[in-house]
Amino acid sequence: INSLGATNAGYSNELTFKTKVPTTSPKITTIAPSNITETSARLQGNLTELGSSPIIQYGFCWSTVIAEPTIDDSKTIARGALASPQIFEYLLTGLTKGTNYYIRAYVSTLDRNTYYGETKELITTEPGLQVYYPFNSNFIDM
């Protein structure tokens, strides 16, 4: 109503807006590497909660220098959705023998965020002595 008492209303241009939906983060852990050899290791990640944005990529990142590697470092890439909590794995090959690696599982979501599990250390084996039998100087088998 204007100052003269007219009941005709004036309106501005129509604007559209969206409110943000609260988001939840996925929860992921890195399982300790296993089956470690001179040049390979089995890696596993455990996605325990999905979060609110769909997962579109997942895998492992690693470094020999950086204690908390990210997807900007070396990484594996598995594309596709993880539609339920689950364990995923990868056989990482081409490693250097006798080297310390820092490994983390990760998931990336449709809203362009990346989430990481905790860092696990992996030291590849070196060839060499496999068994040691001491010589006790009397030539008697033990």
Residue 65 tokens, joined: 């220098």
Q: Could you tell me the pTM of the whole model?
A: 0.74
Per-residue pLDDT of the chain (142 residues; tens, 9 = 90+): 566 666 666 667 888 877 776 789 999 999 999 999 999 999 999 999 999 999 999 999 999 999 999 999 999 999 878 889 999 999 999 999 999 999 999 999 999 999 999 999 999 988 765 555 556 666 665 5
Are the C-beta atoms of residues 24 and 111 closer than 8 Å to each other? Answer: no
DSSP per residue over 61-79, as a string?
Answer: EEESS-SS--TTSEE--EE
Rounded to whole angstroms, the Cα distance separating 109 from 24 reads 11
Contact assessment for residue 91 and residue 42, using Cβ atoms and an 8 Å cutoff: yes
15 CB-contact burial (10 Å; exposed 0-12 / middle 13-18 / buried 19+):
exposed
- pLDDT on residue 12: 75
